[in-house]
Amino acid sequence: MTPAARVGKGASKPSPRVSKRMRSVRVRDTAPELAVRRMLHALGVRFRVRPTDLPGRPDITNLRRRWCIFVHGCFWHGHSCWRGRLPKKNVAFWREKIASNQGRDTRAESDLLERGFRVLIVWQCELDDSERLKRRFGKFFRYSPLREN
Ligand SMILES: [Zn+2]
């Protein structure tokens, strides 16, 4: 379903049903998260999934090595790609909603950096080009597939 379809025709704000769905947006194990976890496993990266005590509740962490990864849905976190475009209806509502999510993301990231964590943001759309994403992981983990042979 497109985000626009969630809002309903001509509504000035989302119905209670939609609001409820929006509150539960932070679901576990979304497809992009699972895909990222599979890629990390394949690279031999050890990690934990979502401890609760870190700012922003990162999706994937390694506390000992002090890094964490957020897998961001492009729409909800306001990415600049086509998936992050706002619906034509209720633009003001969506703009405020997404801006508040972005504010939270920025605060969480800087809190984590202050605590000495390295932070990687993976956007949903980056999974469209897994080779490129692998190279990003390579840089982040200083892992070079070329060195394996
Ligand atoms: Zn995107």
Domain of 140: which CATH number? 3.40.960.10
- Domain limits for position 88: 28-148
> Other C-beta atoms within 10 Å of 127: how many?
16
CA 3 / ligand 1 centre spacing (Å): 14
Confidence of residue 49 (pLDDT cuts 50, 70, 90): confident
pLDDT for position 9 = 47
Do the domain assignments include residue 13? Answer: no
Asked if residue 83 belongs to a domain, the reply is yes
pLDDT tens for residues 67-119?
A: 999 999 999 999 999 999 999 999 999 999 999 999 999 999 999 999 999 99
Query: Mean of the pLDDT values across residues 58-70?
Result: 92
Closest CA to 54 of 130, 99, 10, 117: 117
148 CA distance to ligand 1 centroid (A)? Answer: 31
pLDDT above 70 covers what percent of the chain?
A: 74
How many domains are there within the chain? 1
Calculate how far, in angstroms, residue 83's C-alpha sits from the geometric centre of ligand 1.
6
Ligand 1 centroid, distance to 119 Cα (angstroms): 18
pTM: 0.77
Question: Do residues 33 and 90 lie in contact, with contact meaning Cβ atoms separated by under 8 Å?
Answer: no
Tell me, yes or no, whether 80 lies in a domain: yes
